[in-house]
Amino acid sequence: MLAREDVPRMISRLLAGRWGPAIWMTSLTLLGIASMTPFRLPGSLLDKMLHFLAYFALSTLAFKVWPIGCRLWLATVLLLMLGAGIEIAQLHLAGREASWLDMASNALGIGTAVLFTFRLRGSLAKHLVSRRVPPVRTAANPKS
């Protein structure tokens, strides 16, 4: 039986393992397909919130899947380019329209994920450093 506390750990292991990139690529594919359908949501605010949440989730997932410094920036740039590409493609689709506000919502979602990720990592690093065991004093190293 799974405890409630075990679920985040299982998700983290799943994303960090070989399934992470596949889940991320599947999410990107689904976003692309959904962006090209003529279906539109009523209400501009709901649409912008969904743009924000979709790109926040994709960014957070990308940062979990590829947790190495420059790859984070690469994922950020690629997601910004994806958002721009989708908006350009929507210029040529019947029933869809490109929007600068959609681009801004996408960028805000990505930027929030970047800040959230670095803030979380900074807090985690401080916590780990504060828990570090002090060096043991020995005759060979009396200053420790």
Q: Measured between alpha carbons, how far is 20 from 36 in angstroms, rounded to an integer?
A: 25
- Read off the pTM: 0.64
- At which residue do the structure tokens 């924000």 appear? 52
DSSP state for residue 133 in the 8-state scheme:
P
Could you give the 3-state DSSP secondary structure of residue 129?
A: helix
pLDDT in tens, the chain (144 residues): 566 666 566 666 666 666 666 666 677 677 766 666 666 666 677 888 888 998 998 888 888 777 666 677 888 898 999 899 988 988 888 877 888 999 999 999 999 998 888 777 666 556 555 555 555 566 666 665
Q: Which long-range contacts (CB under 8 A, 24 or more apart) does 24-28 make?
A: 24/58, 24/61, 24/62, 24/65, 27/57, 27/58, 27/61, 28/58, 28/82
